[in-house]
Amino acid sequence: MKTLLSSLAVITTAASSFAGVIVVEGKYQDKNLYVQNGYTSSGVGFCTYEVTINGKTTTDEVNSSAFEIDFSAYSIKPGTPVVVEIRHKDDCTPKVLNPEALKPKATFEVININVDKNGLLNWSTKNEMGSLAFIVEQFRWNKWIPVGEVQGTGKMDNNTYSFQTNAHSGENKFRVKQIGFGGVAKSSNSVSYVSTIGQPTYTISKDKSDIKFSGETLYEVYDAYGNVVKRGFGNDLNITTLSKGSYYLCYDNITADFAKK
C-alpha cells in the first residue's frame, strides 16, 4: 500500500509540473508571435516545454529566455484560423508579447462597388484577413454617418455583399468601412447616384410637441452644444422631452434650426 501511494505521488507531481497551457486564438495575419520565456522557479531549465499550432508541435527553439513562434514553416495562408498552445511548467508562466498579431485588421480590398437606381449598394472584396463588420456610411449634413452594417466573411477569396439604403433627395453618396484591432479603420472609395424623390418639408405642431415631416426621412437633432439629443427615421419626431432652448434639425440633406419654447 505504501509503495502504491508513493507511486501515485510521483505521478501527480510529474503531471502537475507540466500543467500550464496558454492558448492564443485568431487568424494568421502574416505575422509571428514572440514569447518572453524565463526560467522555472528552481532556476533550472526554461518555463516553456512545447508549442503547438493547430495541434501540431512546432520546431521552434523554446529553450531560451525569449523565442519566436514562426508560422512560415507550416504553409499557413493569411486569414487562416489558428490556435496556438504554449505548454509550460506550473511554477512559472511565459508571456506572449504580441497577442494582437492574430487579431483581425481591416485588410479588405474592393474589387467593385456600386449603387443602383433603387439604392441597393453592392460591393465585392478580396484579402479579408478576419471577420469584421462592414459599416455602411452615407454622406449627409457634411459628414459621413453610419446607416447600417453587414458582417464580413473574413475570407481571402472574392466576397460579395449588398445593403438596401434609404435615399435622400438629390445626390446620394455611400461607402463601406471596417474598423480593425486597435480602432484602425479602412474605407472604400465612395459611389453615388441621384434620387428623384422630392425634398420633404417639416412643420412644428402648435403645442411644440412634434415635428411632422411631409415624407419619411432620416433625422438628427442637436442641442446648442453640438450634442445629439434625437435621431431616427420616419415622418414624425416627438420633441416633448426636449428642454427649452435652441436646436439644430438635420433631415433629408438639409440642416435647419428651431427653438423649443
DSSP state of 39: B
- Domain CATH for 163: 2.60.40.10
pLDDT of 90: 85
Grid cell 453618396 in the structure block, residue: 173
Domain that holds residue 94: 17-102
On whether both 121 and 97 belong to a single domain, the answer is no
Cα-based torsion angle of the residue sequence 134, 135, 137, 142 in order, rounded to the nearest 10 degrees: -130
pLDDT of 40: 83
Grid cell 507511486 in the structure block, residue: 7
On whether both 117 and 189 belong to a single domain, the answer is yes
pLDDT of 54: 95
DSSP state of 180: -
From CA 40, how far away is CA 247, in angstroms rounded?
Answer: 65
pLDDT of 15: 34
Amino acid in position 252: D
Give every residue of the chain whose pLDDT is below 70, as ranges.
1-19
On whether both 212 and 228 belong to a single domain, the answer is yes
On whether both 73 and 97 belong to a single domain, the answer is yes
Amino acid in position 101: A
The answer to whether residue 10 sits within a structural domain is: no
pLDDT of 132: 94
From CA 51, how far away is CA 61, in angstroms rounded?
Answer: 10
The answer to whether residue 140 sits within a structural domain is: yes
Q: Label residue 62 exposed, middle or buried (CB < 10 Å: 0-12, 13-18, 19+).
A: buried
From CA 159, how far away is CA 179, in angstroms rounded?
Answer: 18
H helix runs in the chain, sequence order? 2-16
pLDDT of 17: 42
pLDDT of 43: 75
DSSP β-ladder status, 133-140 and 170-179: antiparallel
Q: Give the number of domains in the chain.
A: 3
On whether both 97 and 117 belong to a single domain, the answer is no
pLDDT of 261: 82
The answer to whether residue 30 sits within a structural domain is: yes
On whether both 93 and 58 belong to a single domain, the answer is yes
pLDDT of 79: 85
CB neighbour burial string for 23-57, b if at least 16 within 10 angstroms, e if fewer: ebebbbbeeebebebbebeeeeebbbbebbbeeee
The answer to whether residue 46 sits within a structural domain is: yes
Paired with 120 in beta bridges are: 164
For the chain, list the strands marked E by DSSP. 20-27, 33-36, 48-53, 56-57, 66-69, 81-88, 95-96, 109-115, 120-126, 133-140, 143-151, 159-164, 170-179, 185-187, 191-195, 202-204, 210-223, 228-238, 245-251, 254-260
Quote the cell numbers at residue 74: 507550416
On whether both 191 and 209 belong to a single domain, the answer is no
On whether both 235 and 250 belong to a single domain, the answer is yes
On whether both 213 and 245 belong to a single domain, the answer is yes
The answer to whether residue 2 sits within a structural domain is: no
Residue ending a domain, choose from 77, 102, 127: 102
The answer to whether residue 133 sits within a structural domain is: yes
The answer to whether residue 150 sits within a structural domain is: yes
The model's pTM = 0.76
pLDDT of 212: 96
On whether both 187 and 124 belong to a single domain, the answer is yes
From CA 150, how far away is CA 137, in angstroms rounded?
Answer: 11
